[in-house]
Amino acid sequence: MARTASIGIRVEPVVKGALEEAAKADRRTVAAYIEKLLIDDLESKGFLPKGAAE
């Protein structure tokens, strides 16, 4: 998937730390981990067709 859009977010330091740990445990960068979480959630709620983000 071409990465052509960026999103900036602010989170509490404790959330960022947990996010970094989770991404590392999943062998992903923080950005890739967040993207995976977003896609999974959007697909499960019907906002994004399954496989559309591949």
Residue 30: give its domain's CATH number: 1.10.1220
Q: State the Cα–Cα distance between residues 10 and 4, nearest whole angstrom.
A: 20
> Range of 27's domain?
1-54
Nearest to 8 by CA among 37, 31, 29: 31
Residue with tokens 């994004």: 48
Nearest to 5 by CA among 31, 24, 41, 23: 31
pLDDT per residue as tens digits for the range 6-44: 999 999 999 999 999 999 999 999 999 999 999 999 999
For residue 38, how many C-alpha atoms fall within 13 Å in the half-sphere facing its CB?
9
Number of structural domains found in the chain: 1
Question: pTM for this structure?
Answer: 0.84
